[in-house]
């Protein structure tokens, strides 16, 4: 009996001990599970926090990078009030030509108020622009530099203490006052545009657009010029005016034909009777001229529409479209001033009527004078297009260079062999074709004329010329368009000649 009790006690004690041990284990496991859950939750919180920290850091880095790389554009935004703040502290800098002439400056009027002054009045109106009623041209493009100062902190403090404004930075441009004056006067009372470039650098030497305006009077004439939609004198026709290219587009058509027939294109011949008919479409030569038996070179030199219509019907449309895109039609242009895209509507699925009009630069094809000058410059530069630019350097008021702008290659538009072939064709235009007014001079030249019809109800045409000189080692490219005046040979070529003459004979 005693033994049974003892055994029962031991069993009960053991059971209690096991129960206690199990309870302790469960408590310990429960505690460990809680700790694990807490740690897991902490890890999740840390991970989430790290993710958002990285996201925030990335956002900060992006914003800093964006602001740094786009500081000029952000500063020039019309909603940026910092411009007005700086204008109260700094005097807007001066814009100079490449030959050191003042194109825009800040002076004080009779009341002592700072005003912008343009010594050449209308002559540089579009390319230099204005800074009242908004900003355009170089006044807009270089605004970031002109309104900022390079004065030291001590100098700024001294100026502030004495009630003086800090001098802004100055802009030196690539523009030549002599060439600009010649081009401006050559345009006379005509409406249109002129672009003059250096093919091997991309420097814009002159840019004229008419009708124009006097930037000194822009505030007073603002309502008048903005209401005059017929003349659109505020529009920079050189970069924003789009026109049918007329026969200057035969440069593009010729490039495509050479690409499709690299070995046989010199063997081409055609009998021109003054017109070409395909189905219901008839293309006529200018003034009904009958050119007779023509080679490819003579077709180009004489600007034979019938021959080029015949050439056009042999072209592969998709390949032709690709070539036009290579030459930046329907593409963004590598320029920093406001511009309009040149465009084509021809596609691989277009009908023959569209093709036959496109090859002679008519139909719905349109181009800006600046773009045509860029293509011409690329041909002159062995097929390599340089980025056009107008700003040479930024200097502080005491003459220290703040920023130097360099010539930059954009891309190759064609092979050097293709460019050489086109230069040869364009030389023939001068020597025995529609630009013969440029032959027999103290310099050689090459180019292409155009007479672009723009009114279906009238025989009106824009007069085009685009070319370069000297023909063998080009230094200068010139593109001229005169609106609604007649043939390129009669009107555009003489204007280009005056510019070439000035450049080569007057020491420019």
C-alpha span between 113 and 119 (Å, rounded): 18
pLDDT for position 145? 96
Of the two residues 280 and 170, the one the predictor is more confident about is 170
Which of these, 188, 185, 206, lies nearest to 197 by C-alpha position?
Answer: 206
**What confidence category does residue 56 fall into, taking pLDDT thresholds of 50, 70 and 90?**
confident
Q: For 170-220, how does the pLDDT look when each residue is reduced to its tens digit (9 = 90+)?
A: 999 999 999 999 999 999 999 999 999 999 999 999 999 999 999 999 999
pLDDT for position 398? 94
Average pLDDT, the chain: 90
Of the two residues 456 and 253, the one the predictor is more confident about is 253
Of the two residues 404 and 37, the one the predictor is more confident about is 404
pLDDT for position 488? 96
292-295 and 281-284 as β-strands: parallel, antiparallel, unpaired?
A: unpaired
- Residue 139's contacts (CB-CB under 8 Å, 6 or more residues apart) are 95, 104, 116, 128, 129, 130, 131, 146
**Angle at CA 253, nearest 5°, toward 459 and 424?**
105
DSSP string, 30-95: HHHHHHHHHHHHHHHHHHHHHHHHHHHHHHHHHHHHHHHHTHHHHHHSTT-THHHHHHHHEE---E
Residue 6: pLDDT above 70? Answer: no
pLDDT for position 249? 98
pLDDT for position 184? 99
SS3 annotation, 218-278: HHHHHHHHHHCCCCCCCCCHHHHCCECCHHHHHHHHHHHHHHHCCCCHHHCEEEECCEEEE
- Indicate the range of 11-25, 88-102, 441-455 predicted with least confidence: 11-25
Residue 375: pLDDT above 90? Answer: yes
**Tokens encoding 419:** 């460019």
pLDDT for position 197? 99
**Angle at CA 374, nearest 5°, toward 373 and 376?**
60
- Residue 120 counted as domain residue: no
Residue 78: pLDDT above 90? Answer: no
* Mean pLDDT, rounded, for 334-357: 95
Share of the chain above pLDDT 90, in %: 77
In terms of residue numbers, what domain contains 297? 192-213+225-389+408-505
Of the two residues 400 and 13, the one the predictor is more confident about is 400
- Indicate the range of 334-343, 448-457, 488-497 predicted with least confidence: 448-457
Boundary (domain end) residue, out of 19, 54, 69: 69
C-alpha span between 54 and 60 (Å, rounded): 10
pLDDT for position 71? 56
**What confidence category does residue 341 fall into, taking pLDDT thresholds of 50, 70 and 90?**
very high
C-alpha span between 214 and 221 (Å, rounded): 9
Of the two residues 506 and 407, the one the predictor is more confident about is 407
- Residue 34 counted as domain residue: yes
**What confidence category does residue 327 fall into, taking pLDDT thresholds of 50, 70 and 90?**
very high
Q: For 106-140, how does the pLDDT look when each residue is reduced to its tens digit (9 = 90+)?
A: 999 989 899 999 999 999 999 999 998 889 999 99
**What confidence category does residue 460 fall into, taking pLDDT thresholds of 50, 70 and 90?**
confident
- Residue 160 counted as domain residue: no
pLDDT for position 295? 98
Residue 153: pLDDT above 80? Answer: yes
Do 60 and 198 sit in the same domain of this protein? no
**What confidence category does residue 446 fall into, taking pLDDT thresholds of 50, 70 and 90?**
very high
pLDDT for position 456? 65
Q: Tell me, what CATH number does 236's domain have?
A: 3.40.710.10
Residue 449: helix, strand or coil by DSSP?
Answer: strand
Q: For 190-199, how does the pLDDT look when each residue is reduced to its tens digit (9 = 90+)?
A: 999 999 999 9
**What confidence category does residue 64 fall into, taking pLDDT thresholds of 50, 70 and 90?**
low
Do 55 and 200 sit in the same domain of this protein? no
- Residue 138 counted as domain residue: no
Boundary (domain end) residue, out of 10, 43, 69: 69
Cross-strand pairs, 272: 292
Give residue 339's region: left, alpha or beta (phi > 0; psi -120 to 50).
beta
- Residue 316 counted as domain residue: yes
Q: How many domains does the structure of the chain reveal? A: 2
Angle between helical axes of 416-432 and 250-260 (0-180°, round to 10): 130
Residue 365: pLDDT above 70? Answer: yes
pLDDT for position 81? 55
Of the two residues 454 and 311, the one the predictor is more confident about is 311
pLDDT for position 467? 99
409-412 and 384-386 as β-strands: parallel, antiparallel, unpaired?
A: antiparallel
**Angle at CA 19, nearest 5°, toward 16 and 24?**
125
Do 204 and 56 sit in the same domain of this protein? no
- Residue 360 counted as domain residue: yes
Do 208 and 350 sit in the same domain of this protein? yes
C-alpha span between 339 and 341 (Å, rounded): 7
pLDDT for position 88? 85
* Mean pLDDT, rounded, for 82-102: 90
DSSP string, 125-178: HHHH--SSSS--HHHHHTHHHHHSB---HHHHHHHHHTTPPEEBPEEEES--HH
* Mean pLDDT, rounded, for 407-421: 98
What's the pTM value of the predicted model, to 2 decimals? Answer: 0.85
- Residue 334 counted as domain residue: yes
- Residue 113 counted as domain residue: no
Boundary (domain end) residue, out of 43, 69, 95: 69
């Amino acid at each position: 009996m005693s033994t049974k009790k003892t055994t029962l006690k031991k069993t009960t004690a053991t059971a209690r001990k096991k129960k206690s041990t199990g309870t302790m284990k469960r408590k310990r496991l429960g505690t460990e599970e809680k700790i694990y859950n807490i740690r897991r939750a902490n890890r999740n919180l840390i991970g989430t926090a790290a993710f958002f920290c990285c996201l925030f850091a990335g956002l900060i880095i992006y914003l800093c990078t964006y602001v740094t790389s786009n500081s000029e554009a952000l500063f020039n935004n019309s909603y940026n009030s910092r411009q007005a703040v700086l204008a109260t502290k700094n005097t807007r800098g001066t814009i100079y030509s490449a030959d050191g002439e003042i194109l825009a400056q800040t002076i004080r009027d009779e009341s002592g108020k700072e005003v912008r002054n343009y010594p050449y009045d209308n002559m540089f109106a579009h390319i230099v622009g204005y800074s009242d009623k908004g900003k355009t041209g170089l006044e807009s493009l270089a605004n970031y530099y002109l309104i900022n100062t390079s004065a030291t902190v001590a100098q700024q403090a001294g100026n502030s203490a004495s009630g003086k404004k800090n001098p802004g930075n100055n802009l030196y441009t690539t523009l030549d006052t002599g060439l600009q004056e010649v081009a401006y006067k050559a345009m006379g009372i005509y409406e249109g545009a002129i672009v003059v470039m250096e093919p091997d650098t991309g420097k814009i030497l002159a840019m004229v657009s008419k009708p124009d305006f006097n930037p000194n009077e822009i505030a007073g004439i603002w309502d008048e010029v903005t209401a005059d939609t017929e003349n659109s004198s505020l529009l920079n026709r050189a970069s924003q005016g789009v026109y049918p290219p007329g026969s200057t587009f035969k440069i593009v058509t010729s490039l495509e034909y050479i690409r499709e027939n690299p070995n046989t294109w010199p063997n081409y011949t055609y009998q021109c009777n003054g017109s070409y008919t395909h189905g219901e479409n008839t293309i006529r030569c200018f003034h009904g001229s009958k050119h007779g038996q023509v080679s490819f070179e003579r077709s180009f030199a004489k600007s034979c529409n019938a021959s080029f219509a015949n050439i056009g019907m042999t072209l592969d449309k998709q390949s032709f479209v690709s070539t036009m895109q290579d030459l930046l039609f329907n593409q963004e242009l590598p320029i920093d001033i406001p511009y309009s895209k040149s465009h084509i509507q021809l596609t691989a699925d277009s009908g023959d009527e569209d093709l036959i009009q496109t090859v002679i630069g008519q139909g719905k094809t349109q181009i800006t004078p600046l773009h045509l000058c860029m293509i011409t410059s690329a041909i002159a530069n062995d097929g390599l297009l340089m980025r056009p630019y107008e700003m040479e350097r930024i200097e502080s008021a005491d003459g220290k260079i703040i920023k130097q702008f360099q010539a930059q290659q954009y891309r190759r538009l064609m092979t050097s062999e293709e460019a050489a072939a086109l230069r040869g064709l364009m030389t023939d235009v001068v020597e025995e074709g529609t630009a013969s007014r440029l032959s027999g001079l103290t310099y050689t030249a090459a180019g292409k004329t155009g007479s672009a019809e723009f009114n279906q109800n009238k025989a009106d045409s824009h007069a085009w010329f685009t070319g370069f000189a000297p023909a063998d080692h080009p230094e200068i490219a010139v593109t001229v368009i005169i609106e609604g005046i007649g043939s390129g040979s009669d009107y555009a070529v003489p204007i280009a000649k005056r510019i070439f003459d000035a450049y080569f004979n007057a020491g420019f």
